[in-house]
Amino acid sequence: MNTFKFSVRPQIHGYDKFSDFIQAHEVGPQDLIFTQRFLYDSFMQETTAQTLFYDDFCGGEPTDIAVDEMLAAIRGLGFNRLIAIGGGSILDCAKVLVLDSQQNVAELFAPGVQPERKAGLLLIPTTCGTGCEVTCVAVLDFPGIGSKIGKGFEAGFADTAILIDELLATIPYPVFATSSADALVHALEIYLAPRANPYTDILCINAARLILQGYKRIIEHGRGVIQQDAKSYLTASNMAGMALANVLAGGVHAIAMHFGSAHHVPHGEATRLFLPAVFEVYFEKQAGGKIADIAALIEDVLGKPAQGESPFGMLERLLAEVVPAKRLTEYGMKPGDVHDYADKVIETQQRLLVNNYVPLSNLDIAGIYNRLM
């Protein structure tokens, strides 16, 4: 019997401008805004809310050590709602900061630990990538074990996810490119996942279509169309995030998590690197299943592939124009590393690998690395 469960947890509100959100949600002194200083300076100086700045603790993606320092700082503050405004790193940290616990990050990430929440939680993305405003998963880098780890906290679901078109104008193009590519990865991976269901299928295929159409418009009309298409990108990211809240991603994320940790590569950049190569392997192994739907979608948006080219080769050519990628050696990976890296993926990322479209062996993963050297 094919059974499934699908949940939609936060309410989703949309606004054109940040000031509209402030007014509608009556943001005031009993709220704590967790964000970056440049975002605060650009949009939030008129608010009366308390503030906590990500920049004071972390210069890149969050580590367990940095989040322990954030936890120490936030425990001395009194607030009714935590309002996190930023990219996926900030929103993921907020899901940990709002937990009602005196434990450190390592203890919170231990199996079975699920604290309650001590305040309301509003999550507001400024990128169009992770969709984590509608998920309960927090992904942190643990340098001590050399890998990124994700954990879902039931209390980490926001009360409200807020989409604000204006905020997308603040991000530099490279951040837009890699974050939107991560949303594309979510949509495509979850569509193929063994636990996908009719609801995630609808969300994923439509999210992927919106992003691919947007990328085609960038190539045809230039980067100036991105702000015109802001609502489409935010919607696509959010839809993929809703799917991710119900079904985990798979092999692309598993391989990217370890590589990103080992070479300090931002998450969206890392997932974009591995998407076409992993899907080429899937297509070679089992072209007749649901991956044929994705191939048809790519051809519907982009046209027919060149002679001898697969749809995923055509996808790589599109991504190369919109989200340029480097070879793995340019990040410092050596050919002799491939089997050790593959072993580490299998050791640390089983929660993701079980969601692969088809199984990937150590040799398969090593081969994917080799393709991209």
CATH number of the domain encompassing residue 211? 1.20.1090.10
Contact criterion met (CB below 8 Å) for 181 and 265: no
Q: Tokens 């969050």 correspond to what residue? A: 62
- 272, 269, 266: which is closest to 61 by C-alpha? 266
For residue 146, the model assigns a pLDDT of 79
Contact criterion met (CB below 8 Å) for 189 and 247: no
The last residue of one of the domains, among 143, 169, 195, is: 169
Domain membership of residue 230 as a residue range: 172-372
The answer to whether the predicted template modeling score (pTM) of the entire model surpasses 0.85 is yes
Contact criterion met (CB below 8 Å) for 87 and 179: yes
20 and 142 co-located in one domain: yes
83 and 214 co-located in one domain: no
Residue 3 lies in a domain: no
314: tokens are 């055509």
238 and 316 co-located in one domain: yes
The last residue of one of the domains, among 136, 169, 202, is: 169
For residue 252, the model assigns a pLDDT of 96
Residue 1 lies in a domain: no
161: tokens are 């996810």
Please state, in angstroms and rounded to a whole number, the distance separating the CA atoms of residues 58 and 320: 30
Render 230-263 in DSSP notation, one character per residue: HHHHHHHHHHHHHHHTTS---HHHHHHHHHHHHH
Give the helix/strand (H/E) hosting 195. none
54 and 157 co-located in one domain: yes
193 and 290 co-located in one domain: yes
162 and 178 co-located in one domain: no
The DSSP output letter for 364 is H
Contact criterion met (CB below 8 Å) for 365 and 347: no
Residue-wise pLDDT tens for the chain (373 aa)? 468 888 888 999 999 999 999 999 999 999 999 999 999 999 998 899 999 999 999 888 899 999 999 999 998 899 999 999 999 899 999 999 999 999 999 999 999 999 999 999 999 999 888 788 999 999 898 988 877 888 999 999 999 999 999 998 878 999 999 999 999 999 999 999 999 999 999 999 999 999 999 999 999 999 999 989 999 999 999 999 999 989 999 999 999 988 998 898 988 999 999 999 999 999 999 998 999 999 999 999 999 988 889 999 999 999 999 999 999 999 999 999 999 999 999 998 998 999 999 999 999 999 999 999 9
For residue 61, the model assigns a pLDDT of 85
Please state, in angstroms and rounded to a whole number, the distance separating the CA atoms of residues 45 and 22: 12
The last residue of one of the domains, among 169, 196, 217, is: 169
CB < 8 Å & 24+ apart, contacts of 290-293: 290/191, 290/192, 290/196, 290/357, 291/192, 291/357, 293/191, 293/205
Contact criterion met (CB below 8 Å) for 123 and 91: yes
47 and 106 co-located in one domain: yes
Please state, in angstroms and rounded to a whole number, the distance separating the CA atoms of residues 56 and 52: 8
CATH number of the domain encompassing residue 144? 3.40.50.1970
Please state, in angstroms and rounded to a whole number, the distance separating the CA atoms of residues 18 and 3: 41
269 and 177 co-located in one domain: yes
- 370, 88, 335, 174: which is closest to 255 by C-alpha? 370
Into how many domains does the chain fold?
2
Q: Is 268 helix (H, G, I), strand (E, B) or coil?
A: helix
For residue 40, the model assigns a pLDDT of 95
- Exposure string of 297-334, with b = 16+ CB inside 10 Å and e = fewer, is bbeebbeebeeeebbbebbbebbeebbebeebeebebe
140 and 259 co-located in one domain: no
For residue 306, the model assigns a pLDDT of 86
Q: Tokens 């790193």 correspond to what residue? A: 89
Q: Which residues contact 307 (CB under 8 A, 6 or more apart)?
A: none
Residue 5 lies in a domain: no
319 and 332 co-located in one domain: yes
CA distance to 22, 119, 150, per residue, from 181 (Å): 29, 32, 19
Please state, in angstroms and rounded to a whole number, the distance separating the CA atoms of residues 372 and 256: 12
For residue 1, the model assigns a pLDDT of 43
80 and 162 co-located in one domain: yes
For residue 308, the model assigns a pLDDT of 87
147 and 193 co-located in one domain: no
